[in-house]
Amino acid sequence: MGKLTIEFNKPFMTGKELSNIAEAHIKGMLAGDGDFTQKCHVWLESYTGASKALLTNSCTAALEMSAILLNIQPGDEVITATFTYVATAEVIALLKLKPVLVDVLEDSFLIDPEAIRKAITPKTKAIVPVHLFGQTANMDEINKIAKEHNLFVIEDTAQAIGSDYTFEDGTTAKSGTIGDVGCTSFFPSKNLGCYGDGGAMFTNDDELAKKIRMVANHGQTVRYYHDEVGVNSRLDSIQAAILRKKLPHLDRYNSSRRSAAEFYNDAFKDSPKLITPITESNSTHVFHQYTLQLVGVERDAIISFLNERGIPAMIYYPVALHMQKAYKDDRYSEGHFPVTERLVKSVISLPMHSELDNEDLEYISNSVLEYLKN
């Protein structure tokens, strides 16, 4: 048995980030503005096609700003998936908005548009679809529902930057540019990361675009004149300097993740004990996670078997939001969201990053198959 260490997630580096950091330092660009920041904005706008992009210090901060910009008020209901990372619901709850959780689709792990429709009340103000694990949720349906009920759509694309969505009419758009606002993350473990926290938000709405930079910078356009209540969600220039080097590699980086996923899919295609992740026909997949569903396999046992062979495996996510202590609510109890409740017990994520070579992938998939034989 060959491999000594396989990393679950390995941040991709160009090797040239440090020279940009030095330049930011020499030029005294330490606050959240300057050349690198502007260049990242221009790059992101041209890459995504959004009319406005803004770097933020996290996706969580971008989500918070979205709710402020859209003037969503305490008590307003915001619909999101119960099968997601906590940040999505956290922001909603912190702003005293009411998170309304809905189930996901079993084959894609993505928010179920029919469930959204059923959860709408007169108090609903927004939908936050999460483009979970790397592909874009059904935005044709979600935008249709939003239009019918006059709701805002805030996309959480922390896991799917670079994913292309194809609308029913054949046109395409990047994930994060399809709703009113899109939010993404450059946390080190995401598909493209800073040397710490980072994020961005996107919009195509001219009114929002006008306000977006002001709100992120304490509500001021002229220093010390505050026209709006704002926040500090600026990204440091040092982080922008790193992003400036890394962003141009995003597509190449996502495509090596896709190749790794194809390798796994092929290796597992004949195993009745594994359900491989599907790629929806209306979205490309950037495989933030490669997530399998186990069929009749004891999850803890396969994880320890893999760990003993130096292969990390993770569970995203072991507990649904509606079962978390902090998000308990009289409206839901165990059994309320059957798909998510099945998934939290059956999913397993395998190592996924751009640096996995064929030898790694073979070793990992052979180890999984070896366990399943017994």
For ligand PLP, the binding residues (CB under 6 A) are 58-60, 84-85, 87-88, 130, 156, 158-159, 185, 187, 197, 199
Residue 35 Cβ vs ligand PLP, minimum distance, rounded to whole Å: 23
**Residue 62 to residues 8, 139, 170, Cα–Cα distance (Å):** 27, 20, 29
| Coil vs helix vs strand at 124 | strand
C-beta closer to ligand PLP: residue 60 or 283? 60
C-beta closer to ligand PLP: residue 175 or 217? 175
Q: CB 48: neighbour CB atoms within 10 A?
A: 22
ω before 253 within 30° of 0 (cis)? Answer: no
Residue 59 Cβ vs ligand PLP, minimum distance, rounded to whole Å: 3
C-beta closer to ligand PLP: residue 84 or 204? 84
Which of these, 169, 112, 172, lies nearest to 145 by C-alpha position?
112
The Cα–Cα gap between 342 and 91 comes to: 26
C-beta closer to ligand PLP: residue 157 or 365? 157
CA angle 259, 263, 265 (to 5 degrees): 110
Residue 268 Cβ vs ligand PLP, minimum distance, rounded to whole Å: 24
**Rama region for 74: left / alpha / beta (φ>0; ψ in -120 to 50; rest):** beta
Residue 37 Cβ vs ligand PLP, minimum distance, rounded to whole Å: 17
Residue 158 Cβ vs ligand PLP, minimum distance, rounded to whole Å: 3
C-beta closer to ligand PLP: residue 187 or 337? 187
Side-chain half-sphere CA neighbours of 247 within 13 A: 24
Reading the block at residue 73, the tokens are 């008020």
Q: CB 33: neighbour CB atoms within 10 A?
A: 16
Residue 48 Cβ vs ligand PLP, minimum distance, rounded to whole Å: 17
C-beta closer to ligand PLP: residue 9 or 84? 84
